[in-house]
Amino acid sequence: MKKEMSHLSVHCSLFSDHCRRIKSLFSPYHLLIIALFGLLFASCDSDTGTLGSSTTPTSDSLTIRTAIYKASSRSVLVDSVLGKTSTVYFGRYTDPETKSLFSSDFITQFNCVEGGNVFPPADSIKGDSAQRLELRLFFPSYYGAADNAMQLEVYPLERTLTEGIPYYTNLSPADYLAPDAQPIARKTYTALDYALADDILDDDDHYHNVCIPLPTRMGTDIIRDYREHPEHFDGATSFIENVCKGFYIKCTGGDGTVLCIDQVSLNVCFRMARTDSIYTTQFMGSQEVLQVNSFDNEGLEPLVADNTCTWLKTPAGIFTEVTLPIDEITRNEQDTINSASIVFQKYNSNNSDGTPLGAPTRLLLIRKSEAHDFFAQNRVPDGLTSFLHTLKKEGTSTDINLTKYNQYVFDNIARLIITCRNERDAWKGDGNYETANPDWNKVLLIPVAITTDSNGSIVTLRHDFSLSSARLLGGIDPIEVRIITSAFK
């Protein structure tokens, strides 16, 4: 007993010392504040189970619901798209997966710097004859094999393209040629010029090109025109109208190579009077003048008819059309749509005959009724009726959703669904509404190419003209649309 009392005495002494130390830290004012806080907490109910809901009347409680709806989809054949592009594609390629054949020709005109100073002074040119006239097609990249033997022909234009008119990729080049037009040049070529040394071909700075000799007399005519009418060389318009209307470059043979041409030059070579050296004047085909592709796709009909999936094929091949279940989603008018998302699953290629084409890297989802004007008017996605698919890593050029999960993800299309619903409701009661507006609940998936500024804002958005292909879940298999709604009860 004494031992226990001794232990108790020690504990009491320690506690007393501890209290004195605490007391020394606080003034009477501090102790008063602590006491008041103690009284305040003692008056509060420690049960927080109804915290938040206790301030909301029972009749106004918020209910959050998640639901999944089914959308249908199909492939849509596209005969042409707006031909705006900074790159022209040239060649012929059979897709090893689908066996569809893509071929592309193009028309180009040439720019002439304003001021008439493209040539050196006329008296410094030796004679009035050209030494050589050539057309060069410069390309930083290509599709297919480097050693395929391809053939082309060059035709002079009889009619010029008109600035300000939208040209589409189903353009008929024959409409711009003389009725009995004959080629002025023929060329067999490969993507890589194996006449060059290996160290040049392997040089990353080498600008690959196809050189096409043209009749020298045409170069002589250009020089003589310059001597007699220098005003014809004062700007692109005068040059195109009076000197050279342009050329049609046609792919006539071969398969398996498509060049991605970003510059075309018309080179007039002549001798200088003083040095007798060769001098070259270049007229460039560029964005300042018109260049228009003419595409032809063969063998796409079986893909469109396949209802086990849907397809995306570029350029100007196949889009995917989706019918959104707007009526089902908006059946309960009391619900507020907080979020809506849709995911398009891409299948892996089942091709075993060769390297398949890559998948489109950027998709636009847009109301079908707005698609034509969207591109014609150079619009950008507004997050209301047009959307770019979401990258998993924003701010990067790598789409992790696509590369890792084979998915094109559109995170929130709620405003699109609300827009479609509001349009429908504005016409409710009109029995002819759906007949007159069959696409009111339809959207298209369209492959696009974008350019951005230093802040990541979209500067331009155009149709994707690259060669790409993707097979998506769809057709007889519905696509899920995930909706989150809220409602007060």
SS3 of residue 237 by DSSP: helix
What is the mean predicted confidence (pLDDT) over 237-243? 93
Alpha helices in 87-235 (DSSP H): 198-201, 216-228
What sections of 330-413 are H helices per DSSP? 371-376, 400-405
Residue 110's pLDDT is: 93
Q: Determine the pLDDT at residue 315.
A: 94
Rounded Cα gap, residues 194 and 189, in angstroms: 10
Residue 19 CB neighbour total at 10 angstroms: 10
**Residues 6 or more apart whose Cβ sits within 8 Å of residue 47:** none
Mean pLDDT is lowest, of 8-12, 17-21, 73-77, 457-461, for: 8-12
DSSP state of 347: P
Residues with Cβ within 8 Å of 421's Cβ and at least 6 positions away in sequence, in order, are 326, 329, 330
**In the structure, what pLDDT confidence band is assigned to residue 196 with cuts at 50, 70 and 90?**
confident
Question: Per mean pLDDT, which range of 54-68, 123-137, 336-350 is the poorest?
Answer: 54-68
**Most confident among 2-16, 30-44, 45-59, 342-356 (mean pLDDT):** 342-356
pLDDT, mean of residues 222-243: 92
| Residue 407: count of CB within 10 angstroms of its CB | 19
User: What pTM did the predictor assign?
Assistant: 0.83
pLDDT score at 51: 34
pLDDT tens digit sequence for 321-378: 999 999 999 998 778 999 999 999 999 887 656 678 899 999 999 999 999 999 999 9
For CA atoms 25, 28, 30, 32, the dihedral sign is positive
Contact call for residues 307 and 445 (beta carbons, < 8 A): no
Residue 353 has a pLDDT of 66
CA distances 135 to 36, 60, 83, 141, 185, Å, are 93, 75, 22, 18, 10
Rounded CA separation 324/12 (Å):
77
Q: Could you give phi then psi for residue 355, rounded to 5 degrees?
A: -75, 120
310: nearest Cα among 343, 340, 347 = 347
The residues with which 155 forms a beta bridge, in sequence order, are: 248
Please give the distance of CA 34 from its chain centroid, rounded to a whole number.
65
Cα–Cα dist 424/328, whole Å:
13
Does 54 or 392 have the greater pLDDT score?
Answer: 392
Please write the tens of the pLDDT for every residue from 415-424. 999 999 999 8
Alpha-carbon torsion angle 478, 298, 367, 471, nearest 10:
30
Closest listed residue to residue 103, CA positions, set 333, 230, 259: 259
Report the range of poorest mean pLDDT among 20-34, 134-148, 282-296. 20-34
Residue 342 amino acid letter: I
